[in-house]
Amino acid sequence: MTAAYLTTGVLSVLLGLDRVAVLQCMVSRPLVAASLTGWLLGVPLAGFEAGMLLELLWLGRLPVGAVVPPDDTQVAIGATALALTLERLLGLHGMPSVILCVLTAIPLGKIGQYADTRARRFNNRLAELASAAAAAGNARRIERLHLCGLGSFALAGLFTCTAIVAGGTLLLLPLAPLLVGAVRETGLSLQYSFTMIGAAALLGTLNVSRGLFLFGAAFIATLLVIGLR
């Protein structure tokens, strides 16, 4: 488990930087981040399932400009690490266990919103120092300040992921054996609820005057496809 947690920490830093600070090549999206984490930790199916449940919920909440949503990347990575923890320590696996991990990680993702905000405020001060260094013609100081800015985002991601995994483990170790049976009894209904909530959240962000019509048409079409099968 130590090696698995170290791997999780490295991923939280690298993928967290991709989210806002470096490249932004979309590997930080929940579906990709969770799947990659699950593959490296040896639980690829759990990672894919966690990413699948989370992706729709955050499609319309991007960290663009001054908007600071909860850290979806660390939620995805943390939920996958929690799924590994439950499998190794309690022998729980499958979609019910993944759902419990996702439901635990989502509220803890608010920690990422706080950490990201603090990192941005710190970087604002670095920008002021960089402006002074530019006026003095000190290029090396500007480079160091730039790297410090990247470091603040890296630490914010690592802090968030650590809090999700540690806090989630403390919550799930005693509660998961009691709750997993109830989650299993709900069957596919709980999984479908994630999809419906995610679709509703996404439609709420669209500037479409006929959003309700589109949602209703898509819902009916989905039911028809399921019925034809």
Q: CA angle at residue 29 from 23 to 32, to 5 degrees?
A: 105
Tell me the whole-structure pTM to 2 decimals. 0.77
Tens of pLDDT along 15-71? 888 877 777 777 878 888 889 899 998 888 888 888 888 887 777 666 555 566 777
Sequence-ordered alpha helix ranges (H) in 94-210: 95-108, 110-135, 139-186, 188-205
- For residue 81, give the DSSP letter: H
pLDDT 10s digits, 190-220: 666 666 666 556 555 555 555 556 666 666 7
CA distance 195 to 199: 6
More confident residue, 83 or 225: 83
Q: Residue 120 burial by CB count (10 A; 0-12/13-18/19+): exposed, middle or buried?
A: middle
Average pLDDT, the chain: 78
Cα separation of 199 and 36, whole Å? 24
| The pLDDT of residue 108 | 86
Residue 113: strand, helix, or coil: helix
Asked if residue 38 lies in contact with residue 48, where contact means CB atoms within 8 angstroms, the answer is: yes
User: What pLDDT is stored for residue 96 in this prediction?
Assistant: 80
